[in-house]
Structure 1
Amino acid sequence: MGEKSKTGNAWVNFILIFVMGAIFAIGFFKVPPAMGSLMEYFQCGLGEAGWFMSACSVAGTVIAFATGAIQTKIGPKGMLIAALVCMALDSLVGVLAPNVEVFIASRFIGGLGNGFLATAGPTLIALLFKDPAKRGLPNSIWACWTAAGSLIMLNSYAFILGATGSWQGVWWVCLAIVVVGLVLTVFGIRVDHAEEMQMVAAGGDVKPWAGLTSLNSWLLVIVFACFAFIFSVWSAMAPTYLQTPLVGMDMAAANSVSSITTVTGIVGSLIIGVVLTKVRNQSLVLVGTMVLCTVAGVIQFVFTGQAAIIVVAVLVGLFTNIVPPALFSNAQWAAKTPAGVALVMAALPIGSNFGGIPAAPIAGAIVESTGSWAMVAVPLGIVGAVGLVCAVVFMARCGKYAMGAAKSGSDAQ
């Protein structure tokens, strides 16, 4: 049986998969621009509302320990379908939620879908593009699925709200979009089922915690958690902050300014990719990214002038999104074998989920208890400092490996 007998064109399939990722992200990021309306509807404060996004991180942490085994049962296309089903349930349960507890539960369901999708995407790319040398471009494009969906939702929320009259209307629109995505996934994405099941057959034997057996891997996981904390606070709280009397933006302007971070984040990811190919000591690059990420955390809610806020949004996007590429590039120095590197890569998302869980609730609780948004800079600065220390220790332990590999490459040329 030929390689392409049942699997369709790789790029056509990939484009559909990316669109499905963006559709999922549209539903996933419908909460931040709606935070004010949701708080009023459910009569809750910022601390409790912070769980509207943090519940997704809790779910992502839980499901991370099972995605390998689940994928061996239903395959990566099945995982993509499961992700979209979870997002459909997120929207349906959320729009019908009688209280805040049920609404948070709906977000937990959406978080499970995020875990499924994060596993399915890279696996499908590996299945469609058999030659590893040809996976770089699709992998780079796939890395933007969350940014694409977030950008669309932040800039269309005010329009959908105006057309439907309520946040519930936005939820119904998201549900309809996801249902369309489900139909396209089932009938439009053509993947040889026998081939995909063969590819993932051994995945259930890999445990996520297997990558947490060395200090080097723990250092990277902690850095990822610190990045996730800083990034999650901005993602969840920025639209709400921009609509407070301190800043005074209307909903449309607040969402548009918040989306600037998404655009500059893509730019930052591309820039750091070039830097990582030019600098021999990649662990030093990781230290530099954590310095900038910490700065981005501290300045998030300190300024109130609208012009200054736009500059902050630009810098937060640039300075935070450079961390993950640096982390993934440095994973190769955290273990001595290719198998060990793969385990470290699999463990890194655990740090990301753990960092995201307490971010918005802590920020919201601080604002409620102190009455000051600027005070959120304190935990953000502390968390950034912890990540920076871990990055420095990692450089001290593993920088020599990066330099040695770079020197060997130069000598070979």
Structure 2
Amino acid sequence: MNSDPSAQTGVAWPVVALIIGAGVISACQLGKAPLALKVVQEELQLGLGTASWLISAFAVIGAVAGAPLGLAVDRIGPRRMAVLSLLMMGAGSALGAFSNDAKILLATRVLEGLGFLGLIVAAPTLIAAVASDRIRDRAMALWAIFMPTGLMLVLLAAPLMQTITWRGFWLLNAAILITYAALLGWAVPLARRASQRHSSIHRDIKQALAAPGPWVLGGVFALFSIIFFAVFGFLPSLLTDRLGVSDEAASMLSAMAVAASGVGNIVCAQLLARGAQSIRLLYVSFGTMMVCSIGVFSAPLAGSAIYALCLVFTFASGFVPVVIFKNAPLYAPHNALVGATLGFAMQGNNIGLLIGPAVAGGVAAAYGWSAVSLLIVACFPVVALLLVAFQKLSVQKERSALFS
């Protein structure tokens, strides 16, 4: 008999907050590279192309390994994977602090990237497994705040990095990650075992590939990322060009836009908790993003109006990740494949992260900023098809739950 009551009744908010905190710390590892890019580039004498891979490494790993890592989470358990992932990021950050060669530093970023991907798949899977029934849906929705919160924290830590150097900042992050891994392993109970945990890996892969849910969530996340990063990836440059502000002011305005995305996460979580339908929130989010992107790139507006549209765009964008994370357990083929479903979603997210800035940058360079809005509008027929599929699956799941 299991004597651990948390395994029977589920954990409460403090443990969920601890798991979300692991995501926040992990997001800091994503954000620290752009923050230190110029200093690292000068110190190691890196070309811009080589230096950019210090940022892109996370996206490449996510685009390739999202679904496989999701299956790994389901096999070894989300708590073990979360702890292992934090340790991997800690090791990568510590080794990176002593790197004097571009190839070694890039290798440490690959190690960090694997840990980052493992954590952001394992943590929501862990929340779904250990949170009490009373708070599970809201906890899954609130998980989405990890990214904007972490990026905001690392931006606020910029003066600290200037004081202790980028190497000291890497070592500080390593210490935090390793300490947090120990705390997470001690405070969070083992997830309840699914009956299929030891089923054939080939059967798991076949079920994950055959089920429509993971593909729909991955597709929605991919299109969202293409649209979001087509705008946000060039936001500082766009603000400099269209508003005529300095680089420092553009960075500060971009940070405020990140905060708006976090506010959108929280508002969406509250709306879902009060009974709002996921599909309606997706329609509102994508529709608002499209209208705002047209205004940002094409409309002859004053600088203040353009920036206001940027804030509305990022606020509305905060709805999509919340809806995806909240619905992942529902759209999984079964309870033992929640990790694989989240892995599909994160793989789609990272594919979009790779495609969006690259295509938008090429279009802007060839035809100007106004052409980027046409690119975004061209995405929306595909978005509409995916949302119809999302709605159809939602209806099917509701009917299955009603008659089960």
TM-based fold match above 0.5? yes
Contact 1:127-1:199 within 8 A present in 2 as well: no
Alignment correspondent of 1:116: 118
Alignment correspondent of 2:4: 4
1:378 deviates by 3.7
1:13 deviates by 3.0
Alignment correspondent of 1:259: 255
What are the superposed Cα offsets for residues 67-112 of structure 1, whole Å, 9 maximum, x if unpaired?
Answer: 3453356432221122212222332343344454444433322221
CA distance in 2, matches of 1:304, 1:90: 45
Alignment correspondent of 2:318: 321
Q: 2:381 pairs with 364, 368, 389, which one?
A: 389
- Whether 2:271 is the aligned partner of 1:293: answer no
Please tell me the residue identity of whatever aligns with 1:57.
A
Contact 1:90-1:106 within 8 A present in 2 as well: yes
CA distance in 1, matches of 2:335, 2:180: 35
The residue matched to 1:261 in structure 2 has which SS?
helix
The residue matched to 1:58 in structure 2 has which SS?
helix
Structure 1 residues 121 and 396, CA gap change in structure 2 (3 angstroms):
closer
Structure 1 residues 364 and 278, CA gap change in structure 2 (3 angstroms):
same
Task: Let me know the Cα RMSD of the aligned residues.
Answer: 4.5
1:225 deviates by 1.0
Structure 1 residues 317 and 217, CA gap change in structure 2 (3 angstroms):
same
| Number of aligned residues | 396
What are the superposed Cα offsets for residues 101-154 of structure 1, whole Å, 9 maximum, x if unpaired?
Answer: 44443332222112211232123223433x433312322332222222111111
CA distance in 1, matches of 2:189, 2:70: 19
Q: Which runs of 5+ in 1 are unaligned?
A: none
The residue matched to 2:134 in structure 1 has which SS?
helix
1:181 deviates by 1.9
Please tell me the residue identity of whatever aligns with 1:119.
V
Structure 1 residues 24 and 396, CA gap change in structure 2 (3 angstroms):
closer
Alignment correspondent of 2:170: 171
Alignment correspondent of 2:219: 222
Alignment correspondent of 1:31: 33
1:56 deviates by 0.8
Structure 1 residues 279 and 162, CA gap change in structure 2 (3 angstroms):
closer
Q: 1:78 pairs with 66, 76, 80, which one?
A: 80
Q: 2:344 pairs with 322, 343, 347, which one?
A: 347
Please tell me the residue identity of whatever aligns with 2:67.
F
Contact 2:26-2:150 within 8 A present in 1 as well: yes
Structure 1 residues 94 and 401, CA gap change in structure 2 (3 angstroms):
closer
What are the superposed Cα offsets for residues 385-405 of structure 1, whole Å, 9 maximum, x if unpaired?
Answer: 32x112323455675776899
1:227 deviates by 1.2
Contact 1:298-1:378 within 8 A present in 2 as well: no
The residue matched to 1:145 in structure 2 has which SS?
helix
Contact 1:217-1:334 within 8 A present in 2 as well: yes
Q: Which runs of 5+ in 2 are unaligned?
A: none
Q: 1:189 pairs with 179, 187, 204, which one?
A: 187
Contact 2:90-2:174 within 8 A present in 1 as well: yes
Q: 1:17 pairs with 8, 16, 19, which one?
A: 19
1:318 deviates by 1.1
1:289 deviates by 2.5
CA distance in 2, matches of 1:76, 1:341: 11
Q: Percent identity?
A: 23
Contact 2:24-2:149 within 8 A present in 1 as well: yes
Please tell me the residue identity of whatever aligns with 1:126.
A
Structure 1 residues 14 and 327, CA gap change in structure 2 (3 angstroms):
closer
CA distance in 1, matches of 2:89, 2:178: 9
CA distance in 1, matches of 2:254, 2:374: 21
Alignment correspondent of 2:152: 151
1:179 deviates by 2.9
- Whether 2:40 is the aligned partner of 1:44: answer no
Structure 1 residues 109 and 94, CA gap change in structure 2 (3 angstroms):
same
Answer with 13-22 or 90-99: which moved more: 90-99
CA distance in 2, matches of 1:133, 1:140: 13
Alignment correspondent of 2:141: 140
User: Structure 1 length as normaliser, TM-score?
Assistant: 0.74
